[in-house]
Copies of this chain bind each other. A is one copy, B any other.
């Protein structure tokens, strides 16, 4: 237990999830990239967030992110509205189309994951979900890692 190769476990898991994610990013005839799907996801999750907030959450340079947003606006998936209180800030939100695409991807991902979970019994399922929640919580609270104030 002590000499468990933790990195290996995480590396494999995240790679598998990443590959899944990669193949789940087209919906309604619109082909979006993996990065773009992450952005949609995060804009939806943090509603009324600014460009900088989302960029930080995703660990992306803000100049890169600014251009990514421009692309998504051109695709009519995202809108940018100036903050009423501070006009330097742009608030991001999804268009109806963006919401739809995000939901479709959500659906596909959850379908797949549920398929995986079907192979487990109730006890295992519950244990896995609780473990993931616990990990997320502890990683969020940890200060060991990086400088990025990822939310």
* Chain A interface residues toward B at CB < 8 A: 1, 4-20, 22-23, 38, 41, 45, 58-59, 106, 109-110, 112-117, 119-120, 122, 124-136, 138-142, 144-148, 150
User: How many chain copies does the complex carry?
Assistant: 2
Chain B residue nearest in CB terms to A109: B7
| A127 engages B131 (CB within 8 Å) | yes
A116 CB → nearest B CB, Å: 5
Q: List 14 A-B contacts (CB under 8 A).
A: A6-B117, A10-B17, A13-B14, A14-B14, A16-B140, A17-B139, A20-B146, A23-B145, A112-B142, A112-B144, A116-B139, A116-B144, A119-B141, A124-B134
| Other-chain contact of A19, B12, B41, B150 (Cβ < 8 Å) | B150
